[in-house]
Structure 1
Amino acid sequence: MIATGTRRCTVEDYRRLPADDWRYQLIDGEIVLSPSPSFFHQRILMNIIELLAPYVKKKNLGTVMFAPLDFYLDDHNVYQPDIFFVSRAREKIIEEDGLHGAPDFVVEVLSPHNARYDLTSKRAGYARSGVEELWLIAPKAKTIDVFRLQVSAERAAASYSLGENFQSAVFPNLDVSVDGIFAR
């Protein structure tokens, strides 16, 4: 991600950005431009969507989606999580222009352009807003750090590597294979 400008911007400034093909986020009052993700980044996202979407649909749990879609956190923060899930109980937060409230679950795939935001400002913002679970995925290390944000935003509840499986607190009885997430 490349930060643009130096003054603290608001949601209104963000909404005035041009309707172009670039992907912008507002992070702590900074307009941040995200370059196109890598193929492997997108493959990871597809693997997760292919895992979550049928599970969520079969159990009629809510909505699972992927970027770009705005999540309006406050007047100085509008994020575009790579993947998010909104439970039926929270579906009223979904509006035509994005999410106006916290999703239950968020996935962020780290890249050289976004890692510093995802690991700090955005993680704290997700915790503040009420996101229950966050997966921070490191493609190079092939690890998944799972944060239970309402317990601790500072320390991962668990970290998983190749060869391991785990279950999410948000998706009970769904077996998540780390190898499956990183499969090419």
Structure 2
Amino acid sequence: MDTAVKRSIKFTYEDYLHFSNDKRYEIIDGEVHMVPSPVPYHQDISWRLELTISTFVEKNGLGKIYHAPLDVVFSETDVVQPDIMFISKERLNIITERNIQGAPDLIVEIISPSSEYKDRVIKRKLYSKYGVKEYWLVDLEKKEVEVMSLKESGLETVKIYQKTDILESLVLKGIKIKLDEIF
């Protein structure tokens, strides 16, 4: 086939709904990405972080917390499954019976060597494009959390918290997470 005539194939959310249920997939800009199953340490950190955030959110009546696998549908060609997400009570209308239709206020991704580029670069751009207000990248190897906030130019790093720090959020005002209790 002549490269001038070659067309790129884009997958949609409708295609995605027919994928195998025993694997996790994401679609970014119409390209399918299979998401490998997380390792136990990833799950430990995810659970502790989610429990801490959920307790704060419920105690203060701020909204809802969800975790993967749950589809966040930004568009027909952009569907992701963040590790943890927060949706404020003012925006609960984006929660549907089947998925989340739009940008959560906060997304947390726990990176691994195989997902690092996608989480740091591709998803950062994607989340910026669709208006995610705050994005946390949890680095298991470095035992740190990079907190980014949405600015005019996209998601920008506010602070990188180390294991000995107390993480604070612009979206979840008042939360203080002792990272040595998470890692």
| Structure 1 length-normalised TM | 0.90
- The root-mean-square deviation of aligned C-alpha atoms, in Å, is 1.5
Residue pair 1:28, 1:121 contacting (<8 A) in 2 also:
no
Amino acid at match of 2:139: A
Q: Does 2:172 match 1:178?
A: no
Name the CA distance, whole Å, in 2 between partners of 1:142 and 1:151: 29
Q: Report the 3-state secondary structure (helix = DSSP H, G, I; strand = E; otherwise coil) of the residue aligned with 1:32.
A: strand
Cα displacement string for residues 20-49 of structure 1 (whole angstroms, at most 9, x for unaligned residues): 211111112111111110111111111111
Aligned to 1:112: 113
Aligned to 1:24: 25
**Structure with the larger RCO, 1 or 2 (CA within 8 Å, 6+ apart):** 1
Q: Report the 3-state secondary structure (helix = DSSP H, G, I; strand = E; otherwise coil) of the residue aligned with 1:37.
A: coil
Q: Which runs of 4+ in 1 moved over 6 A?
A: none
Count of residues in correspondence between the two structures:
176
Unaligned runs of 5+ in 2: 1-7
Q: Report the 3-state secondary structure (helix = DSSP H, G, I; strand = E; otherwise coil) of the residue aligned with 1:157.
A: strand
Residue pair 1:130, 1:150 contacting (<8 A) in 2 also:
no
Aligned to 2:166: 165
Aligned to 1:61: 62
Quote how far apart the aligned CAs of 1:152 are. 4.9
Aligned to 1:140: 141
Aligned to 2:12: 10
The verdict on how the C-alpha distance between 1:60 and 1:154 changes in structure 2, with shifts beyond 3 A counting, is closer
Percent identity over the alignment is 36
| Structure 2 length-normalised TM | 0.90
Residue pair 1:45, 1:82 contacting (<8 A) in 2 also:
yes
Residue pair 1:166, 1:177 contacting (<8 A) in 2 also:
yes
Aligned to 2:44: 43
Quote how far apart the aligned CAs of 1:77 are. 0.7
Residue pair 1:131, 1:150 contacting (<8 A) in 2 also:
no
Quote how far apart the aligned CAs of 1:155 are. 3.5
Q: Report the 3-state secondary structure (helix = DSSP H, G, I; strand = E; otherwise coil) of the residue aligned with 2:151.
A: coil
Residue pair 2:134, 2:155 contacting (<8 A) in 1 also:
no
Unaligned runs of 5+ in 1: 1-5
